[in-house]
Amino acid sequence: MSLDFHIYSPEEEITDVLFEEKNIQVFAKRDDQIHPFISGNKWRKLKWNLKAAKRENKNKLVTFGGAWSNHILATAAAAAKFGFHSIGIIRGEEITNPVLAIAKLYGMEIHFIDRETYRSKENYFNNNFGSKEHYFIDEGGRSDLGILGCKEIISELTQDYTHIITAAGTGTTAAGLRQGLDEKMFDTKLLIVPVLKSADFLKEDLNNWNIDNRNIQWIMDYHFGGYAKTNYELNQFINFFVSHTGILIEPTYTGKVCYALYDLIQKDHFPQGSKILFLHTGGMTGLLGHLNKM
């Protein structure tokens, strides 16, 4: 299948009495609708990498992640769709779970490596997959080409926003959004919600990518204890949000962003008349690891 596949990612308004009260409009860009498993921002980050791999005649994608990684699953599904072989290198003890099971169904070859070896992924790749057919994709799709893909989100927008809010894991998506906004000379504020604890490294990474800090607001206090951590309050909020909007979110990424958004609106962080875009980055399989606690 051609790599110019058509994507569907509409912007739709979310309504709530809180927004009316505060005279604020909220929209969601539904990148979760791009594909069930080549989910959201993972497609954005893969797109130009896959084009590069095709151009370089590399037909084996090698990538890295944790056992619940949305990126691992997205790479497996995209590889199957676009005619690549995929190899997923998973950090830690060998386990089985629904995410890895679906990745395998898409034909991904899965290897588990210990955390020590995982820390030097590039070495591991060079030692084991040095041949010309193998294409390296970093954990989470983190890459310059990933930034390029995420920039395209901005060109697709059908209206202007005063604010855009997004989750950050590697910060690639946020970097792309900021670059896209700057190129169009939009003065939209970008709110970045790290989903990890002690995520100050993200600020450095964005600096190293030459991302302008102007118009970025770091929202550091909504990680709920760390990556993939959740609590009763966050789960309650997710139950409320999903049942009121019909839009699925999960505790690892989008749940934290939406919680932060509602909380900041409540606390009058946004001026009256603000028009805010929540980027729904997808990742619904994240729910599968949490369902029994929701």
Ligand X SMILES: *Cc1c(COP(=O)(O)O)cnc(C)c1O
> Of 76-84, 152-160, 171-179, 205-213, which part binds ligand X (CB under 6 A)?
171-179
Inter-CA distances, 220 with 26, 79, 137, 224, 229, Å: 21, 34, 27, 10, 15
Nearest distance from C-beta of residue 20 to ligand X, angstroms: 28
Q: What is the DSSP string of 93-114?
A: S----HHHHHHHHTT-EEEEE-
Nearer to ligand X by Cβ, of 22 and 150: the residue is: 150
Helix then strand then coil, % of the chain, to nearest 5: 45, 20, 40
Binding of ligand X by 75 (CB under 6 A)? no
Binding of ligand X by 193 (CB under 6 A)? no
Binding of ligand X by 170 (CB under 6 A)? yes
- The helix/strand/coil state of 87 is strand
Binding of ligand X by 169 (CB under 6 A)? yes
Q: Binder to ligand X among 87, 168, 219, 238 (CB under 6 A)?
A: 168
Q: Binder to ligand X among 65, 88, 149, 171 (CB under 6 A)?
A: 171
> Of 13-21, 79-87, 110-118, 165-173, which part binds ligand X (CB under 6 A)?
165-173
Inter-CA distances, 252 with 29, 137, 138, 226, 231, Å: 18, 22, 20, 9, 11
Binding mask 254-283 for ligand X (x = CB under 6 A): x--------------------------xxx
Binding of ligand X by 149 (CB under 6 A)? no
> Of 40-48, 75-83, 87-95, 236-244, which part binds ligand X (CB under 6 A)?
40-48
Which residues fall within 8 angstroms of residue 88, CB to CB, at 6 or more apart?
Answer: 63, 64, 65, 72, 75, 76, 100, 103, 108, 109, 110, 111
Binding mask 218-257 for ligand X (x = CB under 6 A): -----------------------------------xx---
Nearer to ligand X by Cβ, of 22 and 279: the residue is: 279
- 99 φ, ψ to 5°? -65, -50
**Single-letter residue type at 101:** A
Instruction: Please name which of 201, 205, 196, 203 lies closest in space to residue 217, comparing C-alpha atoms.
Output: 203
Decide if 122 contacts 136 (C-beta within 8 A): yes
> Of 75-83, 114-122, 167-175, 229-237, which part binds ligand X (CB under 6 A)?
167-175
Binding site for ligand X (CB under 6 A): 40-42, 70-71, 140, 167-174, 253-254, 281-283
